[in-house]
């Protein structure tokens, strides 16, 4: 398969997966300590987890994040991953994990919460799928380093959580297990790059909020999206240079 066709297929996959995310994003966007949403803003039951966030019984049927935004975002993420990874077998793992990363980003930005039903399966799936990928010829990573990267990054974030629980949530610790596995697949330089990129992006975002007076230095911000964005950038560099 040519690289151009591979990127197109990945983009189509991402668009299809992104179209299924709005309802899950709405239902998972419940404040910390509250149960996942079971009703639309109008009070009608929401059934299922995948598909559009729309209620035929409401005067304003659409709710939650826009489907178009999620379709475009997921398609772009998958296309860029395909361009960097090319035809190596680990691309299948990245394409399966990417929609979950987009969903986690949206939920954390909306309610500053990283749901366990997403973060823990994300970590388990990353390690399991990479373990299977390590058995396929022409892969460009190492499962052992992926496992160690998961433990190292998760452990590092756990220490930060113990030091400053107000600035680092336990959901970030669980998410770091999955992102550490993905980054570790390409080695320790990729782990360090992805980790540094996440903190840098988070710092820049916080600084921008302070400069525009939308927050103060003590305002807590969701860190999950930047952890994911940093891992995404590190993964691109790792895949491209592997």
Please give the C-alpha separations between residue 48 and each of 28, 136, 153, in angstroms, as whole numbers.
Answer: 12, 35, 33
Residue pair 150/178 in contact by the 8 Å Cβ criterion: yes
Residue pair 174/163 in contact by the 8 Å Cβ criterion: no
What's the pLDDT tens digit per position in 91-138?
999 999 999 999 999 999 999 999 999 999 999 999 999 999 999 999
Q: What is the number of structural domains in the chain?
A: 1
pTM of the predicted protein model: 0.94
Residue 178's pLDDT band, with cuts at 50, 70 and 90, is very high
> Quick check: 62 pLDDT over 80?
no
The greatest distance separating any two alpha carbons of the chain, rounded to the nearest whole angstrom, comes to: 55
- DSSP string covering 201-227: HHHHHHHHHHHTTSS-TT-----HHHH
Residue 90's pLDDT band, with cuts at 50, 70 and 90, is very high
Please give the C-alpha separations between residue 223 and each of 118, 201, 202, in angstroms, as whole numbers.
Answer: 16, 9, 7
The encoded tokens of residue 155 equal: 């452990």
Domain that holds residue 161: 3-241
Work out the average pLDDT over 144-153: 97
Q: What are phi and psi of 40, to 5 degrees?
A: -75, 170
Q: How far apart are CA 5 and CA 24, in angstroms?
A: 30
Q: How many C-beta neighbours within 10 Å does residue 124 have? A: 13
Work out the average pLDDT over 170-191: 96
């Amino acid at each position: 398969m040519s690289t151009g066709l591979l990127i197109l297929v990945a983009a189509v996959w991402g668009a299809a997966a992104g179209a299924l995310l709005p309802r899950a994003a709405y239902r998972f966007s419940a404040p910390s300590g509250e149960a996942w949403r079971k009703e639309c803003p109008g009070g009608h039951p929401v059934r299922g987890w995948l598909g559009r966030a729309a209620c035929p019984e409401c005067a304003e049927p659409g709710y939650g994040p826009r489907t178009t935004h999620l379709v475009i975002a997921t398609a772009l993420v998958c296309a860029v991953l395909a361009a960097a990874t090319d035809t190596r077998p680990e691309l299948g793992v990245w394409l399966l994990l990417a929609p979950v990363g987009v969903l986690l980003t949206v939920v954390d930005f909306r309610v500053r919460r990283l749901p366990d039903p997403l973060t823990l399966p994300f970590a388990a799936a990353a390690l399991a799928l990479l373990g299977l990928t390590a058995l396929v010829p022409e892969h460009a990573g190492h499962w052992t380093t992926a496992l160690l990267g998961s433990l190292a990054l998760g452990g590092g974030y756990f220490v930060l959580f113990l030091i400053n629980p107000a600035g680092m949530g336990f959901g970030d610790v669980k998410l770091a297990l999955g992102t550490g596995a993905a980054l570790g697949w390409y080695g320790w330089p990729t782990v360090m790059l992805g980790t540094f990129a996440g903190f840098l992006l988070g710092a820049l975002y916080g600084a921008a909020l302070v400069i525009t007076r939308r927050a103060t230095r003590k305002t807590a911000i969701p860190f999950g999206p930047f952890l994911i964005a940093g891992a995404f950038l590190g993964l691109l560099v790792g895949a491209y240079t592997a």
